[in-house]
Structure 1
Amino acid sequence: MPYSPNNPLIVQSDRSVLLEVQNDRYEAARDALARFAELQKSPEFIHTYRITPLSLWNAAAAGLSADQILADLSEYAKFDVPENVIFDIRESIGRYGRVRLEKNEDGLLILTSADVALLTELTRRKELKPYLLGQLDANTLLVDPARRGHIKQALVHVGYPAEDVAGYVEGAPLEISLLPASRASGDAFALRHYQQDAVDTFYAGGSARGGSGVIVLPCGAGKTLVGMAAIQKLQCNTLILTPSTVAARQWIRELLDKTTITEDMVGEYTGLTKEIKPITVTTYQIMTWRPRRKHGEEFVPENEYPHFGLFDQRDWGLIIYDEVHLLPAPVFRITAEIQARRRLGLTATLVREDNREEDVFSLVGPKKYDVPWKDLEAQGWIATAECHEIRISLPDDERMAYALAEDRDKYRMAATSMSKIAPLVQLLSKHRNDQVLVIGQYIEQLERVAEVVEAPLITGSTPVRERERLFQLMRDGELSRLVVSKVANFAVDLPEVNVAIQLSGSYGSRQEEAQRLGRILRPKKNGMLAHFYTLVTKDTNDQEFAANRQLFLTEQGYRYEILYAHEVPDYQPNLVATPGDHAGSRRYERPHA
């Protein structure tokens, strides 16, 4: 077996891939792997990726071939790629599109394949039988058009993802154009090259091969503008689903500011108001609201989610799922039933904490466009960010209480330790001339912090109007620090905020880490660096969960500088790198512009 000692990869027969961090070819190999493999662990020296069928199907949908993937692995591998891995990659890539959903000349929905034996096998699979209406010939099955999404889900589960080229309804027409300049500021703008590429890839020239899929772009890279450009391409009535009322109103502001749409053409459908217009913006929360049944009241399935009726209120030509990685399970169900409408998912990460990435793939669509965060950072489209993990020792009394606590209580105890207050105050002093978000998970902790640092607090119970007022004060520069709960994880537009300090999070949520860093990635007018701090109590599960949250950002090319809070009897907080610990820390390296 040839040995290439200067290469950073070891490809193992179980389809895991080990990547050496301290290698000159690390970054190039990481960028290649990110296109077709999933990062699983990222300790200091060796990162572990896994090649999965879904990661390969997404790669195939984005146009990557088995030959290209194998060429990348061979380029960076120390040893020959195992034969079984070569076979598995060719097999998985080859399975994508071996069956196709399309319309025949009579307008009937059919499932076709050139592989007669495969089609015969599929007719015998119990997962598919409920959706098949008959066999037209050896290569063609008749499919229930109302179950188009369900059969796509079933095909993914049995390992043969269908290429859906059955086309879409056009939807009610809508004249809309992007303006050459912002109405509010008068500043000229145009689609950036990657935004245009994303829209063109999704649209695919208007063919049946386009019209459904997910665009993956970093926070601050202009996903909303991509969505508006897609509406302009399709010129149709559009329903936009967002994670919050604040996000919904942000979409409406952007539409009114940057397109020819007028106020009478765009409606807000939230808990506060129910407008249905040619462009309607709603929230996942209102769509999944269920009325509470009275005791003894009969359950009526069609009344379970009354707002699902919005999907039929107009002839929508496009459904946009903002932050599609947050798509609630009930919305998957209705999405399976509206496959004849074009669907665009927008997200910074396809990672889902409920492991339903396959349902995003089959029901919203495969990943159609992705661009590494570091590429956009190097080009100046998003801010250059430095990531720091500050490790703090628990005081003796808290350490003993933690040791004696039940497992279910340990994380909250570690994450909300009072020992985080002093380093937080020091960081705020260090960044006293910056705009800072202090972010956390636990309300009691945030209330205490807001009082100590004398900053306003936004939580889920803060009225929408008050949230918007405080966010506007930050935008106007009249407020320099704000304490926020997880309600600020998504779709909060604060362009000049350049420091985020994370006190606690949703356990090991990778998607949350990506979103929180995203709060500070909008390019700064003065070109300042962005700083992302995570305060972690060392030798606790707070530290373990922090390591898991960092996985996604490591995959994107960020490295955490790990520092320790230096403690002495007359404690004056001072952040110093522990001598001799640099070899074990993930030291951030700024890319060359």
Structure 2
Amino acid sequence: MYNPANPLIIQSDFSVLAEVHHPEFETVRVDLAVFADLEKSPEHIHTYRITPLSLWNAACAGRKPEAIITFLEQNAKFPLPDNIRREIGHYMARYGLVKLLAQAPDISAAGLGFDLPTDEYLFLYSHDSPTITAIDRQKDIRKHLAGRLNENTLLVPAGKRGIIKQALIRIGYPVEDLAGYIEGEPLAIHLRETTAAGQSFGLRPYQNEAVNIFHANGLATGGSGVLVLPCGAGKTVIGLGVMAQVQTNTLILTTSTTAVRQWIRELLDKTSLTPDEVGEYSADRKDVRPITVTTYQMITYRPEKDGPFPHFQLFNSRPWGFIIYDEVHTLPAPVFQVTAELQARRRLGLTATLIREDGRETDVFTLIGPKKVDIPWRELERDGWIAPTVCSELRVPMSLDLRLECAQSGDKIAYRLEAENPAKLAVVKDLIANHQGESILVIGQYIKQLEILAAELNAPLITGKTASAKRDELYEDFRQGRIPLLVVSKVANFAIDLPDASVAIQVSGAFGSRQEEAQRLGRILRPKADGRGAYFYTVVSKDSREQEFSHHRQLFLTEQGYQYIIRDV
């Protein structure tokens, strides 16, 4: 039980303070991250926060409140506050208290005034009748219901499946959706043992485990959820593995046309699918086939600001049985609207981090599914599946003139001026000189800054304005070693496969985005053919807003066990 020599302080406001230099910190950190989120990470004490969503994800992963309370008690310096013990049990008991079923036992439609076509309705059930009564009394929920069947069951129109789940989680009832799925149009898909390129292929143990956890032998307990793994861990391959299990027409949504073509290359290289079965739906092509890959940007395009989304029809263009949301943390708000209507299809979210800067993590939990797998990055590094990485923050002084200009500017303008600090150029040049012979990415937020860097470094530049064909050409030249250095904007944050990139130099970013920090590190995490490690540098202006934002950006990676070497230059 509690002991002043233990590493944790658990407070009644649901914060948990972890002593970084404690000999048990690394072990405790991994278990703590299962049910709490890291909020602050200064040098000596890290602050975690226990939230309803973090507890619901833990409950879905099979964690029991008794086990979490025991863990906290065993590692606490001081006695556990009574409200913490009580509320952990309370919140975790909420997951599964309300279930959505395709059939409910001993249901009679007597008194409804109509026959009950079972394919048009679902059953919202709880063994606790007061819970059902409380839900039925909520006006915003009751308007979506078709009636109450008995003291334990409410009737839900099948088309309201997603809306009901969203409404219920807002009042603290995360629904366990066991209503099952339509199978979609069958499609034979098999994984190759030898790729089309002639290389031996098979799922790694953790990839196979992730596939099996998601699929759950085809039961209603599987088939929807999010798998969280670091970039370089083969999330695309896991998606292929699930497709081989479900054997159905599949729609894949991802972040860019480049990512679309990477998915298509992987599908044709590692599965039995033929080119006639795989379609690209992009600005260049509109091929709708049994496997169709498109972008979030394509789906959410509309000619007029308040007009319809013309490409939403893609969701109904074939009898999809499975939808993959790649980089699900970037899912645009309009797609949530469509996804609420797609709850009868199996849904897989793939991501390196569930952090959303817009705070819509509960919508991902509700509409895509709960977190089913979350593999610690350092665990995969230890086993050699991703490259060991050294992270450094280099602090560059600002000139007196720049400091004065920033002091006289608004926060947003001042941040940009700090990010574009001209003194960063010399630091970037020194880093590149120190890594001669390696594949280097220089990544930034501001196009003017990147144009100057590209010109000074005599390196190609990729931005959002670079044509897809030109991007693909430059990425391929980089992969093949014909280009040792690329300057890239935020378009390279997601789903870009550059296996030999071993150095990333970040010169500016989107304020305090933890998500972006994780994705950018991910550009260099794929294991290298010669076994060497990777280097991630963040160049910031010293004593600035940018430096403060940089600390917040690092939170997620700190939670994963990465430490930043801080150095003034």
Q: Same fold (TM over 0.5)?
A: yes
1:286 aligned onto 2:285: no
Partner residue of 2:148 out of 127, 135, 160: 135
Aligned to 1:177: 190
Mapped partners of 1:120, 1:552: distance in 2: 40
Q: Secondary structure at the match of 1:340?
A: coil
Aligned to 2:226: 214
- In the TM superposition, what is the alpha-carbon distance from 1:291 to its structure 2 partner? 1.6
Aligned to 1:369: 373
Mapped partners of 1:126, 1:436: distance in 2: 57
Aligned to 1:12: 11
Aligned to 1:188: 200
Aligned to 2:464: 460
Mapped partners of 1:396, 1:114: distance in 2: 68
Mapped partners of 1:356, 1:460: distance in 2: 25
Q: Secondary structure at the match of 1:498?
A: strand
Q: Tell me the amino acid that sits aligned with residue 175 of structure 2.
A: A
- In the TM superposition, what is the alpha-carbon distance from 1:203 to its structure 2 partner? 0.5
Q: Tell me the amino acid that sits aligned with residue 21 of structure 2.
A: Q
Could you list the per-position Cα deviations for residues 430-461 of structure 1 after superposition, in whole angstroms to 9, with x for gaps in the alignment?
A: 00111100000000000000011111000000
- In the TM superposition, what is the alpha-carbon distance from 1:395 to its structure 2 partner? 1.3
Could you list the per-position Cα deviations for residues 73-123 of structure 1 after superposition, in whole angstroms to 9, with x for gaps in the alignment?
A: 122211121110010100000000101000127443010011111101110
Pairwise mapping of residues 471-550 of structure 1 onto structure 2 (< 5 A)? 471-550=475-554
Aligned to 1:117: 130
What is the percent sequence identity of the aligned residues? 56
Partner residue of 2:453 out of 449, 454, 469: 449
Partner residue of 2:235 out of 223, 227, 231: 223
Mapped partners of 1:321, 1:486: distance in 2: 20
Q: Tell me the amino acid that sits aligned with residue 72 of structure 1.
A: F
Mapped partners of 2:2, 2:200: distance in 1: 55
Could you list the per-position Cα deviations for residues 123-144 of structure 1 after superposition, in whole angstroms to 9, with x for gaps in the alignment?
A: 0012311211101111111011
Q: Tell me the amino acid that sits aligned with residue 142 of structure 1.
A: L
Structure 2: gaps (5+ residues) = 105-117
Mapped partners of 1:477, 1:408: distance in 2: 38
- In the TM superposition, what is the alpha-carbon distance from 1:408 to its structure 2 partner? 2.4
Q: Secondary structure at the match of 2:139?
A: coil
Aligned to 2:109: none
Could you list the per-position Cα deviations for residues 7-41 of structure 1 after superposition, in whole angstroms to 9, with x for gaps in the alignment?
A: 11100000000011111111111101110001111
Could you list the per-position Cα deviations for residues 476-499 of structure 1 after superposition, in whole angstroms to 9, with x for gaps in the alignment?
A: 111111000000001111111100
2:326 and 2:350 in contact (8 A); partners too: yes
Q: Which moved more, 1:108-117 or 1:66-75?
A: 66-75
Q: Secondary structure at the match of 1:314?
A: coil
Mapped partners of 1:126, 1:264: distance in 2: 50
Mapped partners of 2:282, 2:453: distance in 1: 31
- In the TM superposition, what is the alpha-carbon distance from 1:275 to its structure 2 partner? 0.4
Partner residue of 1:338 out of 337, 342, 353: 342
Aligned to 1:197: 209
Partner residue of 1:306 out of 285, 301, 310: 310
Mapped partners of 1:264, 1:6: distance in 2: 64
Mapped partners of 1:75, 1:474: distance in 2: 50
Mapped partners of 2:242, 2:410: distance in 1: 51
TM norm structure 1: 0.92
Aligned to 2:173: 160
| Consecutive aligned runs of 4 or more in structure 1 exceeding 2 Å deviation | 105-108
Pairwise mapping of residues 329-408 of structure 1 onto structure 2 (< 5 A)? 329-408=333-412
Mapped partners of 2:173, 2:345: distance in 1: 23
- In the TM superposition, what is the alpha-carbon distance from 1:3 to its structure 2 partner? 5.2
Mapped partners of 1:450, 1:77: distance in 2: 52
Q: Tell me the amino acid that sits aligned with residue 139 of structure 1.
A: N
Partner residue of 1:317 out of 321, 325, 349: 321
Could you list the per-position Cα deviations for residues 353-404 of structure 1 after superposition, in whole angstroms to 9, with x for gaps in the alignment?
A: 1000000000000001110000000000000001000011111111121122
Mapped partners of 1:286, 1:433: distance in 2: 38
Provide closer, same or farther for how the CA distance between residues 3 and 173 of structure 1 changes in structure 2, counting only shifts above 3 A: closer
Aligned to 2:114: none
Aligned to 1:38: 37
Could you list the per-position Cα deviations for residues 299-331 of structure 1 after superposition, in whole angstroms to 9, with x for gaps in the alignment?
A: 7xxx61111111111000000000000000000
Partner residue of 2:567 out of 542, 559, 563: 563
Q: Which moved more, 1:402-411 or 1:345-354?
A: 402-411
- In the TM superposition, what is the alpha-carbon distance from 1:346 to its structure 2 partner? 0.2
Mapped partners of 2:45, 2:27: distance in 1: 15
Q: Secondary structure at the match of 1:132?
A: coil
Mapped partners of 2:93, 2:44: distance in 1: 34
Mapped partners of 2:478, 2:419: distance in 1: 27
